[in-house]
Amino acid sequence: MGQTTTNHRERQLMQYLQSGNWIKASMLPASDRLLKNLLHKGWIELRQDSNGTLYRITELGLEAKRQPVR
């Protein structure tokens, strides 16, 4: 999890999540692979409830988003 710079696809997805609110997975323009990578890095978190699968950005993700794009 030591990586702190984002690529363009990661940054684009985190733009959708930057409010910090939980967002339905169906509303995100992302592949399962990208979501899994961001979860692994700790930049987003997942919650499943009666509304389905939801994601939001973490503090670590907000910090990574502030770093320059690689």
**Is the distance from CB of 10 to CB of 4 less than 8 angstroms?**
no
Q: What pLDDT sits at residue 3?
A: 59
The confidence score (pLDDT) of residue 63 equals: 93
Which one of 3.30.930.10, 3.40.50.920, 1.10.10.10, 1.10.760.10 gives the CATH number of domain 8-66? 1.10.10.10
Q: H-helix or E-strand containing 8?
A: helix 8-17
pTM (predicted TM-score): 0.86
Check residue 1 and give its pLDDT.
47
Domain residue limits, the chain: 8-66
d(C-alpha 3, C-alpha 31), whole Å = 20
Task: Summarize pLDDT for 14-44 with one digit per residue, the tens.
Answer: 999 999 999 999 999 889 999 999 999 999 9
Give the pLDDT of residue 41: 96
pLDDT tens by residue, 51-70:
899 999 999 999 999 888 76
* Residue (of 38, 6, 8) closest to 23 by Cα position: 38
